[in-house]
A and B are shown apart, each in its own frame.
Chain A
Amino acid sequence: MNSSAAIDVREVTKTYDLGDVKVEALRGVSFTIARGEYVAIMGPSGSGKSTLMNLLGCLDRPTTGRYLLDSIDVSTLGDDQLAAIRLKKLGFVFQGFNLLARTSALKNVALPLFYAGVGSRERNALAAGRLAEVGLADRVNHKPSELSGGQQQRVAIARALVNDPAVLLADEPTGNLDSTTSEELMGVFQHLNEAGRTIIMVTHDEDVAGHARRIIRLRDGRIVDDQATGKG
């Protein structure tokens, strides 16, 4: 086990207790992801990939097993401690973008910094920098409704990066985009990964997953396949 791994998952299980029925979403999953990796997590619906994503995203805790994020054991932390970890260590990109509708691109990107207690001038400067990084330097004051789907997702990526997270988590990031825009967005991820970002992406699209350098496949709560794509 590499102690400098960005993500270190050891024998993690997750069981949902729905009263009479217990659903075993994850049945003992172990893997590590080193810094700078670009990993796609794939699997059919019900395979446990959403559950795994929630655990990796510190939105949930494993039932058993350990999860070390950037060498911090986050498997037993409380709600507010998890919030702090999400704030500092993680960046999220969602399928539905999840931008604040009435808020400019700049303010959307700056939002995590607000919760981190960064002053407004510094927030805006950092956010503007991230928007430039995703190619939206000229869309800073546009509202989400004034941007295309691809642009909105780039704003979301800028927001995910603004706290300089250890890991960028993307959940079906191209699910709402057409294939041309998807390709563009994959370019953005590619570029970020080349710049050293650790990226984990959940997808069921083989073409999208093909952009990653490694694919972890899940089925029935277990890893069935974990290999490099030969890219990079």
Chain B
Amino acid sequence: MNLTQYFTEAFAVLAANRVRSLLTVLGLIIGVTAVIAIQVLGAGMAGAVSGLLGGLSERAFIVFPSQQANFTRASIKLSDLQRAKDEIPNVVAAMPAGGQRVVAAYGHAHHRITFGAGPDERFSTSTPIRYGRKLSEDDIAEGRHVCVVSDQGYTKFAMIGDPTGSSLRVGDRRFTIVGVLGTDKSGILPLNFNLDVTVPYPTYERYFVHGNAIVFARFLMADASKVEATEADTLNWLRHLKGPRVEYQTFDRKAFSKGVDGIFAGITIVVALIGAVSLLVAGIGILNIMLVSVAERTREIGLRKAIGATRFQVLLQFFIEALALSGFGCLIGLILGVTIGALVNDFAIVKFSGVVAPIPWVRSILIATVFTTVVTLAFGTYPAWRAATLDPIEALRYE
């Protein structure tokens, strides 16, 4: 069975009826384009969201008072927080979260900046580094007077080149700059540590937590999978510490993801519906044009059968013609969909989030393949069967 020959002939026939073939597959092209573009965009969005969540590690959660709580009463003593890792299972560290606005000096420049404890690198997801390094375990353990400047901090001070090694002054404390972070678009999360300048949290606690009390705390876990139990334990521990009248709540990556997942589930259902409708419309178009093709070529079919083509060979010919038609449509749809999706992703989502998500090629090709198969099987089989079962005598007599 020489399939290449069948395909060659099918494409020759389709090419001979160019306009008709194009118009027929237009519906399929639009449907597949829409579905794949939204898939690619979805991947971009998902990538963007997880990128935005990058500031909050899976192994971290934040505790803060409920909205109706009295913040003064709800504040947690630093000394209590330091005991948390011994008293709450799975908690390995607890530190102040958030920061404060201070005036800092770099050379002769004075600027009001946001300033706070830097995340423990063991528990944060990667942020790109432009110069130097991040805060190290030793910086944290020894409470060194070092700091890391974020992208916006770098801009604020109008720093030029590599500033590591020079110092930054906050009040009467000097901090040696050890690193500058790259662009990190994590600005949509509350209490995320998108601060201009960060120092090791013991250092921050020692000099900048006044009155030994903090309102927002960040807890780090050994095992991220036990986040729910650990959060419950932490809330219990706080209730025990502060009494039942103060309510706290937790926020973690999962809580954010849950909301996002809901939106994506909705989008997926809508896209699936669009896909199904366009598939049906496109399929009917292909069914129609294939029936026309069979009718037009009745004599040709009669001739082919007279010279010895079997029913299967005739069936195959028209089936492959339908397959070539739908396959062509799906291929164009795939290319257009990925192109449009990638372009929109590049010019909108990546610009906003700074996250480049990989294009889901395998899934796109899979979708196009499934579309092709379904359309061909559902709408290409009947015309091919009609052609195959034509009576050669009547077909040859057909005018």
Contacts and interface: CB of A to CB of B under 8 A. Distances in A.
B310 A80 contact: yes
Contacts of B310: 79-80, 83-84, 115
Contact of B307 (A60, A80, A87, A117): A87
B23 interface: no
B218 interface: no
Contacts of B68: none
19 contacts: A54-B393, A59-B392, A60-B393, A79-B311, A80-B311, A83-B308, A87-B308, A87-B309, A88-B308, A92-B307, A94-B303, A94-B396, A98-B302, A102-B12, A102-B13, A102-B16, A115-B307, A115-B313, A163-B308
Contacts, number: 64
Contacts of B309: 83, 87, 115
A79 B303 CA distance: 15
A112 B310 CA distance: 11
B306 A57 contact: yes
A119 B1 CA distance: 10
A184 B362 CA distance: 62
A98 B396 CA distance: 8
Interface string B384-399: 0000000011001000
B393 A111 contact: no
Interface string B67-86: 00000000000000000000
A143 to B, nearest CB: 12
A175 to B, nearest CB: 14
B299 interface: yes
B304 A111 contact: yes
A168 to B, nearest CB: 12
Interface of A: 54, 57, 59-60, 79-80, 83-88, 90, 92, 94, 96, 98, 100, 102, 111-112, 114-117, 119-120, 159-160, 163
B308 A59 contact: no
Interface residues of B, number: 23
Nearest to A86: B308
B346 interface: no
Contacts of A111: 304, 307
B1 to A, nearest CB: 8
A31 to B, nearest CB: 21
Contact of A112 (B16, B299, B308, B311): B308
Nearest to B312: A80
Interface of B: 1-2, 5, 12-13, 16, 299-300, 302-313, 392-393, 396
A116 B2 contact: no
A98 B303 contact: yes
B307 A59 contact: no
Nearest to A169: B306
Contacts of B303: 94, 98, 100
Contact of A115 (B308, B392, B393): B308
A117 B309 CA distance: 11
B308 A84 contact: yes
A51 B300 CA distance: 21
Given A80-B310, A83-B311, A98-B299, A114 B396 contact: no
Contacts of B308: 83-88, 90, 112, 115-116, 163
Contacts of B16: 102
A59 B397 CA distance: 13
A165 to B, nearest CB: 10
A96 B310 CA distance: 22
A163 B307 CA distance: 10
A227 B289 CA distance: 52
A144 to B, nearest CB: 12
Nearest to A88: B308
Interface centre among B306, B313, B392 (most CB of A within 10 A): B306
A31 B395 CA distance: 28
B93 to A, nearest CB: 73
Given A60-B393, A100-B303, 7 more contacts: A85-B308, A86-B308, A88-B308, A94-B396, A98-B299, A114-B2, A115-B308
A38 B392 CA distance: 25
Give the 3 A-B residue pairs with the shortest CB-CB distance, closest first. Answer: A87-B308, A98-B303, A86-B308
Contacts of B1: 117
B393 A59 contact: yes
A170 B188 CA distance: 83
Contacts of B2: 114, 117, 119-120
A182 to B, nearest CB: 21
Contacts of A92: 306-307
A94 to B, nearest CB: 7
